Structure 1
Amino acid sequence: MNKILRLFFLLTTVVLYFSSCQKFLEIEPKSDPTTASYYKTADDIRNAINGSYASLQGRNQYMQHFITLMETRSDNVSDNNSGGNAGRDYNIDRFIAGSDNVVYLEAWQSIYNAIYRCNLALANLDVVTNTAQRNQYEGELRFLRALNYFNAVRLWGNIPLTLTPVSPEESYSLIRNNQAEVYIAIETDLRLAAANLPLNFTGADLGRATQGSAKALLGKVYLTEKKFVEASGVLQEVISSKQYDLLPNVADVFSSANKMNKEIVFAVRYNKSVVDEGHPVLTYFDGPVLDPALLNAYQSGDARRDLLNTVASNSRNPVKKYFDSFDLNTNNVGNDFPLLRYADVLLMCAEALNEQGYSSTGLAITYLNQVRIRAKATEFITANLPDQGSFRNAVYQERRLELPLECQRWFDLVRTNTAAQAMQAVSLTIQPWQYLYPIPLTEVQIVNNPQTFPQNPNY
């Protein structure tokens, strides 16, 4: 992608970049297309979609920064390297990072860069003349935009909501929209994505967002909003589709030799044999400092516990869950990173059903036990979970045991309002305002309007 297009995609730094080069961008080079003239064919739209998927792969999202913001921040993992990167990640882990921390800025920029790409492609969808292809592309773009907004709203709360391409001049007047408005947009995108996407893909398209991806993410959105009826309804649609299943051996779910298996609903894809498509051993999954309470919570014989042990490889010590051999040419590994998988769908549905009313024999305990039985953990009976509260706590704990190191834990703690209690158990005292991250300092300074674009409280 040419330099002009890359700059144009950086929505979050749009004022800084374009205040100095707006005149330059008004000139359309003969050899390199500008964004105004780029989208002329269906292939151009497809390339934009691929670029949006690629944003998920990068170090500013799931390769590095999201692991810091979504997993290390929680009680699961500790960063004890106070000197690494001048304490950049350590300070986030210990709740002492200020709004000038570069991780916040780079994650913000990457998210809004991807959103801008989606907006621009959606605005030019008319160049796709094949109806089925147009519907698929719209579904993928809406899924990706929704995923990025869902991450942003959970990280920062009220955020700018832009559903059309924003010009440099318009960017000065961006506001922090209320979370409720953002969630409405996310729900709308995911419902439309589910209506337009196919049940599955094959071949080179394997890994693109599907109908099940959209519905599973929508279920997670509803659960976060405490819309339990809606959550259980759409999650049961995913279950009844028969497109997904639990693998008999939980270790096989994460095997690099078994990618996009029956349990994976959506994953960030990597390919270690292709330059710039692989990744190093993911940060903090190389000899991670895991909470002893997590490690000790597994029953004897629970197959998931071994996945948190490490294995030596090329002077690295990745956890078995994400082990992959290094490619000798690129010196990278290529295991995918799962964002949505069937075990998560079952646990979300069990939680949503229980919140609507406790039943000792209903689908909620069936779904919960399916996950436990696969892991070779003891099946729950009514005596173990005699009421709604005990069932709720069991599901929360099961999510911790099933999903560690999958960027789920911090958001689970926040949405269940158990973050302060969990962090106290690892000797960190936090307040509710710390459930959100600070808006990157430069973004606040660029807009420079405390009424419409304030900093989050206490930062």
Structure 2
Amino acid sequence: MKKILFSTIISFSILFASCEKELDQAPISDASTARFYDSPDDFVQAVNATYASLRAYPDRQLNLSETRSDNLYATSDGGVRDWEGVNSFHKTIASNPYIIEAWSENFNGVLKANTVLDQIEKNGAVIRDESLKTRLSAEARFLRAFFYFDLVRWFGALPIIERPLLAEEATSVGRSPVEEVYQFIISDLQFAQENLPEQYASVDKGRATKFAAKGLLALVHMTRSGPTYGVKGPGLGLNEWSNALTLLNEIIGSGKYSMLTNTGSATTAYSDIFSYTNEGNAEVVFDIQYITGVNPVLGATFPWVLVPDEWFQSLGKTTQGGLTIRPVSTNLLNSYEANDIRRNFSIQTGFTFNGKTETRSFFKKYVDISKVPTSSRLDWPINFIVMRYTDILMLKAECILNGAPGTQAEVDAILNQVRSRARLAPLSNVTLAQLMEERRKEFAGEGSRWHDLVRSGLVETKIPAWIETEDVLNQMQNFIKEYVIYPIPQSQLDVRQGLYTQNDGY
């Protein structure tokens, strides 16, 4: 699907041009959409364009989850950078471009999904293949749920938009409670898991499958089960660990995925997950796919987001846009055991450029230095794995440790399978804290750490303790529970006075 996702955007994006910035802007008109949706292929293209709204999702996870967490001590060594307020818990970040992007791009994706669903209802008679019509509806609903789940983890309460709205209508829709947002998400994902195929022919490989929907729904149940912290955030304090476990076991029991494992003395299995020549491997449950070498440029940008430009220059490559270094925290570096092969693959420690020696570390996990694009830094030829099989297994262990049916032996076996690939000794009687520490290293640089801390209830203890020891430059603010979520973008508050109320703490 690498070609399908983006190849139709060049022409189809014209239809969405009027709604690419803010939630308050009008969608495409009934007249223009009616003219476009004349054949089944038109609907397929529209769904493909909705997938394209995932393009910046990886960058967002690195900028808002990885940077927010204790994995990075992202203070600047030159000028004021957008990531500093995110990492340092500044309360005046409602106009931060990363936060604005998270709101606007996700709602742009929601608008595209809604437009597809609306046109299937109005003009779907041209799709005579009922199975295709159902599948396209399921894909659109999966994507709408995906965008909303991303939003609810960042912002909490949200406006629920389930059809295309005119500008005046959109500016009258207030935020619904988190509970109602989740019901909307769950309804979409239940439809998706019931109506998406288990797999696709090679030409469509990469589209959301039944198992991608099950995995996302499982994570929704787990996130809802996290603590509330007394704020209107993603945790509702529910006990839905068993609901999640059932879904995770269905993915595991399908036999369609497996962990990549080392062979003999080789230690390449972990790096093989992210290899540019091994995309779509047995670990991949759902990924975001890119196409390179086209105009406009539609490749990936996430490989360099956490990588300083001077490192590329030190290797004779062009600058990419990472600017100055966003250092890996000392806390994370010290957490790796001596023989853990994941550290050297994921993290670069030091380099020399123009006579200057940089001793701090940074994530290089997605960089294959032989694949650095020469024509555009926006055109990296690598997919982003949103959900991989190792994650499914470790989420299962988390459910069991939170009271879902299962045994300690199952938890230990899962963790030790992960540790074995990292060339580490096995553990016994694994606790939730140990599991989360293993997740921290397994998924370092993948954008999951902040979500893990919030969901597990560890954020209130881990982050304050980390700030106390890590903040040697005294640049970080005290962490308060309200910072579990981000502020509503100021631009949205300004659309219509009183429509939204700012999240507490900002």
State the 1:320 CA deviation. 4.7
From 259, 270, 284, the counterpart of 2:290: 270
* Pairing 1:141–2:140 present: yes
Distance 1:82 1:170, change over 3 A: farther
State the 1:361 CA deviation. 4.3
Determine the structure 1 residue equivalent to 2:339.
301
From 410, 416, 419, the counterpart of 2:450: 410
Determine the structure 1 residue equivalent to 2:304.
282
- Secondary structure of the corresponding residue to residue 280 of structure 2: coil
- Secondary structure of the corresponding residue to residue 310 of structure 1: strand
Q: Distance in 2 between matches of 1:313 and 1:36?
A: 58
Name the % identity. Answer: 30
Cα deviations across residues 362-400 of structure 1 (Å, max 9, x unaligned)?
Answer: 433322222222222222224xx4xxxxx1111111111
Matches within 5 A, 1:1-400: 1=11, 5-10=15-20, 12-15=22-25, 34-58=32-56, 61-62=57-58, 64-81=59-76, 83=78, 86-96=80-90, 97-125=92-120, 126=124, 127-226=126-225, 227-248=240-261, 249-275=269-295, 276-280=297-301, 281-286=303-308, 288-310=326-348, 319-324=363-368, 325-330=371-376, 332-356=379-403, 361-382=408-429, 385=430, 391-400=431-440
State the 1:217 CA deviation. 0.8
- Secondary structure of the corresponding residue to residue 139 of structure 1: helix
State the 1:112 CA deviation. 0.3
CA contact (8 A) 2:276 2:381 kept: yes
CA contact (8 A) 1:304 1:401 kept: yes
- Secondary structure of the corresponding residue to residue 287 of structure 2: strand
CA contact (8 A) 1:372 1:379 kept: yes
Amino acid at match of 1:419: V
- Structure 2 residues without counterparts, runs of 5 or longer: 1-10, 226-239, 262-268, 309-324, 469-475
Q: Distance in 2 between matches of 1:346 and 1:359?
A: 13
Q: Distance in 1 between matches of 2:497 and 2:327?
A: 40
CA contact (8 A) 1:273 1:330 kept: no
User: Which stretch of structure 1 is more off in the superposition, 138-147 or 34-43?
Assistant: 34-43
Q: Distance in 2 between matches of 1:294 and 1:129?
A: 55
Distance 1:454 1:359, change over 3 A: same
Q: Distance in 1 between matches of 2:132 and 2:406?
A: 44
Cα deviations across residues 47-78 of structure 1 (Å, max 9, x unaligned)?
Answer: 121112211113xx32x343211111111123
CA contact (8 A) 1:172 1:447 kept: yes
Determine the structure 2 residue equivalent to 1:388.
none
Q: Give the TM-score normalised by structure 2.
A: 0.79
Distance 1:309 1:88, change over 3 A: closer
- Secondary structure of the corresponding residue to residue 24 of structure 2: helix
Cα deviations across residues 71-115 of structure 1 (Å, max 9, x unaligned)?
Answer: 11111123222655x532222221114212232222211100000
CA contact (8 A) 1:119 1:163 kept: yes
CA contact (8 A) 1:8 1:14 kept: no
Aligned length: 434
CA contact (8 A) 1:199 1:212 kept: yes
Cα deviations across residues 320-352 of structure 1 (Å, max 9, x unaligned)?
Answer: 521221244546422211111011100111110
User: Which stretch of structure 1 is more off in the superposition, 266-275 or 205-214?
Assistant: 266-275
Amino acid at match of 2:288: V
Distance 1:426 1:178, change over 3 A: same
Q: Distance in 2 between matches of 1:458 and 1:80?
A: 22
- Secondary structure of the corresponding residue to residue 348 of structure 2: coil
Amino acid at match of 1:51: A
- Structure 1 residues without counterparts, runs of 5 or longer: 386-390
Amino acid at match of 1:222: H
Q: Distance in 2 between matches of 1:162 and 1:336?
A: 29
User: Which stretch of structure 1 is more off in the superposition, 1-10 or 164-173?
Assistant: 1-10
Q: Distance in 1 between matches of 2:294 and 2:81?
A: 32
Q: Distance in 1 between matches of 2:362 and 2:459?
A: 27
Determine the structure 2 residue equivalent to 1:431.
480
Distance 1:365 1:173, change over 3 A: same
CA contact (8 A) 2:394 2:414 kept: yes
CA contact (8 A) 1:272 1:330 kept: no
Distance 1:87 1:363, change over 3 A: same
Distance 1:361 1:73, change over 3 A: closer
Q: Distance in 1 between matches of 2:160 and 2:21?
A: 12
Q: Distance in 2 between matches of 1:93 and 1:403?
A: 19
Q: Distance in 1 between matches of 2:103 and 2:352?
A: 33
Distance 1:4 1:299, change over 3 A: closer
Distance 1:285 1:245, change over 3 A: farther
CA contact (8 A) 2:300 2:383 kept: no
Distance 1:304 1:202, change over 3 A: farther
Amino acid at match of 1:352: C
- Secondary structure of the corresponding residue to residue 81 of structure 2: helix
Q: Give the TM-score normalised by structure 1.
A: 0.87
Distance 1:222 1:13, change over 3 A: closer
